[in-house]
Amino acid sequence: MNQWSSRTLNLVTSEDYLDKLQKIYPHEEGERDVDETILDEIKRSFKKKNNIVFLNKLLDLEKFPYKDSYVGFLRRDRTAIARNPKTVKRISNRLYGMGIDNVIEGITQPKEANTRRGNQFTEWIRKEFKFADIKQFRASSKGIIILDATELDARNFCNTEMGIGISKRPDLVAKSGKNYVVGEAKFLSSTGGNQGRAFDDGMALATNSTGKAYKIFILDGIHWIERGSDQFKRIEHGTATVFSALLLKDFLKIYDKTYQ
């Protein structure tokens, strides 16, 4: 096991790991906020069985009440609603069958944890570290800084400047002294499904041997105590640098002479 993984395991099993972690990933209660006026309009159109108005009101919202592969198309092209009455009737009948309470519950459902957690990590590093544009980032040779760039520009910088060969921007693009560090950051509460794939994404970057950046997987959550899982074994028996976000500052400091 990598030394940073070992330190994380000790932190998770011997210290107030969860209490400390809430500074980075605060627990959030509450539903999606939908204006009361809009909710009243949805209830009225539901009661009147006005398919067109009802469907348009729901398509205006961030969350549709249930998963339907045709909804994305209708969101992008509202004119398709008038041209496809059978599809509109099918979706509307499903919604009416759910009942208005379940429709409201569906549109106010909290965002998936993965989406919230990614934003929380970004908010935390913005508070804890200095950010710089590409020009400043490239020229920097002292201290710890984080790249402040668009998704496309950051990805291109990782590929052209660091030679990593990735298809999407990492969650972390940092520089410590003269050393580049890139990483994925995940807070995962299960070992399967989408979260299992998120783990695979993090490990794929951490084990990427191309280019001139240090690659890390900033992992928090249940994987550290799932000793029998395949994911834990990949950390335990591998050499990838996988560790908690709580140790990120310590990791970055070792490459910068400012802290030596």
pLDDT in tens, 190-226: 777 777 888 999 999 999 999 999 999 999 988 998 8
Burial level of 47, CB count in 10 A (0-12/13-18/19+)?
exposed
Rounded distance between C-alpha atoms, residue 144 and residue 177, angstroms: 6
Return the pLDDT at 111: 63
* Average pLDDT rounded to a whole number, residues 120-139: 94
Identify the domain boundary among 64, 86, 107. Answer: 107
Which one of 107, 127, 147 terminates a domain?
107
Residues 9 and 74 in one domain: no
β-bridge partners, 147: 132
Residues 69 and 165 in one domain: no
Q: Are residues 98 and 119 in the same domain?
A: no
The SS3 of residue 193 is: helix
Shared domain for 127 and 217, answered yes or no, is yes
**Residue in 141, 115, 213, 135 with CA at minimum distance from that of residue 173:** 213
Q: Which residues lie closer than 8 Å to 64 by C-beta, 6 or more apart?
A: 58, 71, 106, 107
Considering the domain architecture, whether residues 99 and 166 belong to the same structural domain is answered as: no
Q: Which of 24-28, 85-89, 90-94, 153-157 has the lowest mean pLDDT?
A: 24-28
pLDDT of residue 117: 62
* Joined tokens for residue 88: 């509109």
Q: What is the mean pLDDT of residues 159-186?
A: 94
Q: Whole-structure pTM over 0.75, yes or no?
A: no
User: pLDDT tens for residues 10-28?
Assistant: 999 999 998 999 899 887 6
pLDDT at 174 (0 to 100) = 96
Q: Tell me whether residue 31 is in a domain.
A: no
The answer to whether residue 112 scores a pLDDT higher than 80 is no
Q: Is 18 a domain residue?
A: yes
Residue 98 is assigned to a structural domain of this protein? yes
Evaluate if residue 260 carries a pLDDT over 50: no
Q: Which two tokens stand for residue 201?
A: 């994404």
Which residue is it, tokens 């804890």?
128
Is 166 found in the same domain as 118?
A: yes
Question: Do residues 189 and 252 both lie within one domain?
Answer: yes
Regarding whether 215 and 167 lie in a shared domain, the answer is yes
* 8 and 45 share one domain: no
CA–CA separation, 30 and 108 (whole Å): 9
> Closest by alpha carbon to 58, among 46, 47, 163?
46
Give domain status of residue 70, yes or no: yes
The last residue of a domain, from among 82, 107, 132: 107
Mean pLDDT of the chain: 90
* In a shared domain, residues 98 and 197: no
Residue 214 belongs to what domain range? 3-26+113-259
Whether 97 and 215 map to the same domain: the answer is no
**Looking at the 3D structure of the chain, how many domains does it have?**
2
> Do 192 and 245 belong together in one domain?
yes
Statement: residue 4 has pLDDT above 80: yes
Question: What would the mean pLDDT of 133-152 be, rounded to a whole number?
Answer: 94
